[in-house]
Amino acid sequence: MNKIQANDMDYKALNEVLRTDQTETYLSGCCGQRFIGAGMSNKAITIDGIPGNALGAYLNGAVITVNGNAQDAVGDTMNDGQIVIHGNIGDAAGYAMRGGKIFVKGNAGYRAGIHMKAYKDKIPVLIIGGHAGSFLGEYQAGGIIIVLGLYEDDRPIVGNFPCTGMHGGKMFLRSTCSDIHFPHQVTARELHAEEKDELSAYLREYCDLFGFDLNTMLDAPFTVITPDSKNPYKQMYVQN
């Protein structure tokens, strides 16, 4: 394993080192360097410290593990791979991601999963252990967003205006969501019994990573949110 002390390196120098032929890298003393692992494949990066914005942007198969918090725009437009955050995550996590998985043990900021999309076998998954801020899944066009609300605090499982502009994909919230206001173009309903396997499949890996018990996790009410139509803009401009 290649060990890098990131303390005084700027992001360009740091990514330069990461791009050299190493399959496993341990990064310590990270403090705000942006774009770590951007576009990388076939690589595992473990980070101590605080990685900067756009961690794993355009990630293309690499696995990134952060032993703490991460900042904004993690996994921006990521295509494949896995990002595991053992703390909280900033705003706009998984921005426009179109493949791969982001697993967050703690809370997420505003606009998590904004404009996530999917295509054929490319189905991105974003799982948040705590609560998510406002505008969760804004303009979601595809993929899976799961928020678990595992920790007791004074915040609701999701802030205001979730699913604004959502027109694809699926969201699972581990709550009855009785006090959450959803927009008109989505349907929020209880989890159907036959969907439990699908949900378990997403959560198994998450539970293994962070040491949670899957059965306990599933033994709670889940709300499923899907858009009413796959194409809400049908006939808005042209017949399509």
- Binding footprint of another protein on the chain (CB under 8 A): 11, 31-34, 49-50, 52-53, 69, 71-72, 88, 90-91, 109-110, 133-135, 159-160, 181
- CB count, 10 Å around CB of 50? 17
The least CB distance from residue 69 to another protein, in Å, is: 6
Q: Which is nearer to another protein, 132 or 173 (CB)?
A: 132
Nearer to another protein, 71 or 77 (CB): 71
Q: Smallest distance, Å, CB 49 to another protein? A: 7
**Of 72 and 76, which has the nearer Cβ to another protein?**
72
* Smallest separation, CB 119 to another protein (Å): 29
**Residues found in the chain:** 240
CB of 51 to another protein, least distance (A): 8
E-state strands within the chain = 2-5, 24-31, 44-50, 60-66, 80-85, 101-104, 125-128, 141-147, 168-173, 186-190, 223-227
* Among the listed residues 45, 51, 49, 101, the one whose alpha carbon sits nearest the alpha carbon of residue 75: 101
The least distance separating another protein from the CB of residue 30, rounded to whole angstroms, comes to 8
Nearer to another protein (CB atom), residue 100 or residue 133 = 133
Q: In what order do the strands lie in the sheet with 186-190?
A: 2-5, 24-31, 44-50, 60-66, 80-85, 101-104, 125-128, 141-147, 168-173, 223-227, 186-190
Q: Which is nearer to another protein, 50 or 214 (CB)?
A: 50
In sign, the C-alpha dihedral spanning 207, 226, 160, 92 is positive
